[in-house]
Amino acid sequence: MSTTAEPILDDRTRYLRALDPESPPSAADVAAALADAADEPADIDDLIAEVRSWCTDETARFAEVLRDGGDPTVRYTLLNCSPLALSAGAWLQWMSSAGNAETEPALHVLSLYASDIGVGHAFADRGSVFREVLRRHRIGDHETDLQLTGHERIEGFSFRFPGLLLAMSRLPDRFSGELLGADLCLRAVGLPPPLAAIELGEDVRRDLDLGAAREGDPRPALDRARDAVRAFDETTVRTGFHWAAGELRRWCASLLREAGLSTSPDYDMWRLIYARARQAAVYHARYKLDGRPLAEWFANVDSGPSQFLAALANSPLVRPGEPDRSPLLRGLIGPKGPMFRIFTDDELAVIRRWISALPRADGEAEPLREAQRSWHRHGDRPVAGHAPAPATGQQPANLRAAYTALLSRDGSEPLRRFARGYVARWLARSRYRLDHAHQLPREWDRDSGLRTWLEQEHDRHGREFDESDTPLPTRDELIDSTLQLAPLIMIDGGWLQGFTDYRLASSAAGHFLFQTYWDELGNGEMDINHPRIYRNLLRDMGIDLPPTVSPSFAEYAGFRAESFALPVYWLSISRFPQTFMPEILGLNLAMELSGVGGGYRSARIALKHYGFSTQFVDLHNTIDNVATGHSAWAVDAIDSHLAGLGGSDQRCDIWERIRVGYRSLRPPTGAAARTYAALRTRVPRSRRS
């Protein structure tokens, strides 16, 4: 067992890492935070009423501060709502899994989450709605995670609550009750007080209100969240609710205090100086301010703003109340000045407001000095503590054990390594003599995409079915083949479960994949849940399997070991939706097209002949269709992904990987292919050691 301690991360780093679906999650921070939550017995309805009452009062307090501060304070407040609002609902992203895909509680939660991300549409998630709010207020979009977590005007305390929620979301098996309790709290709040106090427009308010019904929803999200928690342990749900309410209160109190300070022109001016002091100290050794080198002033900003701002206000650089006549804004930063283009337009507006408000009485210096202790500057290094080391676990001993272990979203580092290695070997085998296989075209058609190819493949499947003369299997053969497919079909859509990740699920290509996953699980309805339908078919055949998630399922004596090879590949590759996105896109197309036009029709004939239900194959033959179904979505996802790439070389590389993924549904199995794969994935002895 490793003796290395698990780090307790600072708030920004925790948030950043938790955004990554492939980053190993840390339970230490979450457990420590939940340990501080109140555990007072209380009725859920009373908790909801209490938090809603607090929300009303807190919203009124924010409204007063925002009126006093005007647009700068509104923009500051919106910035500090970003970490939570950009991930609104994301804490439910991993609550469904291959192991619980046919259970009603998981489907209830998935339905709630599907609404949060606007299933069926790209960039229709609540976070994307908030991005539009930021743009309308001329707040720079945070195109990358690092830009968001590194923003100097977003306080560290604004990352704490959403960062812990996201970290918790990566460990749903451990924190399911707490997650749903926190979710219920947030649905009860609806719009967090800082957002509720800002004029947003009715449609935007509805989309950002976590408790409201979005367009097309049959019921308010709060009512659906109440239903969802009923299946979970009441104590853990209550703990999660208390914890979330406490975190919201602390965040709002800190933000309200900081927003109140921001109503003073000194606030923005001092933040600008504080943020740029490190760089400025290098260049201003010769200029004197109140008898001291300006570089010295910059080097000592930790002492607070009182003397610095007073000296600057009384210097020749500034004419109080007259920004247009102040040398600081005229000569120094003009096209011929030594500080041309040093400041952004927003920063120039800050300097202008500060000079316009001069002269005025002192009074903000001490609160600003206290506040700056928590301000973030580029180059600041976070300080992390440590928690006890996590257990390392072991790699699965065989395919059956791997199948059971991989059904869970949680997982040890050895399981992660196993999955990565299994995928690497499988894909290497799929790459063997790729151009000699019946495959996707060698080149992607950038003018028409894959739709023409898809129609041709569908025609080919139809011809092969019409021309085939395959004899019916015997009844026993049909039952056995149906049984051997169970480890695969009981995780229908399992190759796509990585695309429940919040940002992938609503992306240009990823929303097609999430919608497919959503369909495979029955759109939240048990009657059309694919694993449930298949389980019923097996019961018709006299086979009653244990629950998929239980070890006894994989150990069922009727399964042959090789029946787990492809399912383990599905479950393994689904853990790396970013790393293997091209391969998953190809695999998805192969899977969705595999039975359309021929395979499902043949299966239907056999099932009907022996008097078994044909619901499963009938359903797939329609929803996988090449015009408006899963096969069409699969090529649309590929075309969207490739069209968004840069140069032709990059597209060629990605297309090659998509072709490998397509073939990976049925990779070559001969000795030559396995030898090729072993050589391509062999780890050198020095690296193994």
Q: What is the pTM of this model?
A: 0.92
pLDDT digits (tens, 9 = 90+) for 670-681: 998 888 888 888
pLDDT band at 374 (very low <50, low <70, confident <90, very high): confident
Q: What is the mean pLDDT of residues 106-117?
A: 97
pLDDT band at 84 (very low <50, low <70, confident <90, very high): very high
Q: What is the mean pLDDT of residues 405-411?
A: 92
Q: What is the mean pLDDT of residues 98-115?
A: 96
Residue 572 has pLDDT above 90, yes or no: yes
Residue 379 has pLDDT above 90, yes or no: no
Q: Are 273 and 305 in contact (CB under 8 A)?
A: yes
Minimum mean pLDDT range among 363-372, 417-426, 506-515, 549-558: 363-372
Percent above pLDDT 70 for the chain: 94
Amino acid at 161: F
Would you state the pLDDT for residue 144? 81
Amino acid at 199: E
pLDDT digits (tens, 9 = 90+) for 596-618: 877 888 999 999 999 999 999 99
pLDDT band at 384 (very low <50, low <70, confident <90, very high): very low
Q: Are 540 and 608 in contact (CB under 8 A)?
A: no
Q: What is the mean pLDDT of residues 384-410?
A: 79
Residue 334 has pLDDT above 90, yes or no: no
Per DSSP, the three-state class of 289 is strand
Rounded to an integer, what distance in angstroms lies between the CA atom of residue 448 and that of residue 441?
Answer: 13
pLDDT band at 284 (very low <50, low <70, confident <90, very high): confident
pLDDT digits (tens, 9 = 90+) for 465-478: 787 777 899 999 99
pLDDT band at 388 (very low <50, low <70, confident <90, very high): very low
Would you state the pLDDT for residue 535? 98
Question: Beta-carbon neighbour count of residue 501 at 10 Å?
Answer: 24
Would you state the pLDDT for residue 267? 92
Q: Which residue has the higher pLDDT, 466 or 567?
A: 567
Across the chain, what does the average pLDDT equal?
A: 91
Which residues lie closer than 8 Å to 422 by C-beta, 6 or more apart?
402, 568, 569, 572
- Letter string b/e over residues 93-128, b meaning 16 or more CB atoms within 10 A of that residue's CB: bbbbbbbbbbbbbbbbbbbbbbbbbbbeebbbbbbb
pLDDT digits (tens, 9 = 90+) for 168-184: 999 999 999 999 999 99
Would you state the pLDDT for residue 383? 45
Count H helices, E strands: the chain?
35, 4
Percent above pLDDT 90 for the chain: 72
Q: What is the mean pLDDT of residues 562-572?
A: 98
Q: Which residue has the higher pLDDT, 142 or 453?
A: 453
Would you state the pLDDT for residue 689? 29
Residue 280 has pLDDT above 70, yes or no: yes
pLDDT band at 381 (very low <50, low <70, confident <90, very high): low
Per DSSP, the three-state class of 8 is strand
Task: Please classify residue 315 by burial: count the beta carbons closer than 10 Å to its beta carbon, then call 0-12 exposed, 13-18 middle and 19+ buried.
Answer: middle
Pairing of strands 292-293, 288-289: antiparallel
> Which residue has 């080919």 as its token pair?
460
The conformation of residue 7, written as its DSSP 8-state character, comes to E
Task: Please report the sign of the dihedral spanned by the C-alpha atoms of residue 563, residue 569, residue 570, residue 572.
Answer: positive
Q: Residue 292 — φ and ψ, nearest 5°?
A: -120, 145
pLDDT digits (tens, 9 = 90+) for 498-516: 999 999 999 999 999 999 9
Q: How far apart are the first and last CA of the chain?
A: 17
Q: Are 96 and 504 in contact (CB under 8 A)?
A: no
Task: Please classify residue 513 by burial: count the beta carbons closer than 10 Å to its beta carbon, then call 0-12 exposed, 13-18 middle and 19+ buried.
Answer: buried
Minimum mean pLDDT range among 56-65, 165-174, 323-332, 657-666: 323-332
Q: Which two tokens stand for residue 22?
A: 């492939």
pLDDT band at 200 (very low <50, low <70, confident <90, very high): very high
Q: Are 66 and 73 in contact (CB under 8 A)?
A: yes
pLDDT band at 390 (very low <50, low <70, confident <90, very high): low
What DSSP string describes 443-501? S--TTTTTHHHHHHHHHHHHHHHHH--PPPPPHHHHHHHHHHTHHHHTTTTGGGGGGGS
Domains along the chain with CATH numbers: 52-88+125-261 (no CATH), 265-363 (no CATH), 399-688 (1.20.910)
Would you state the pLDDT for residue 598? 72
Would you state the pLDDT for residue 168? 96
Per DSSP, the three-state class of 504 is helix
Rounded to an integer, what distance in angstroms lies between the CA atom of residue 304 and that of residue 314?
Answer: 17
Would you state the pLDDT for residue 362? 62
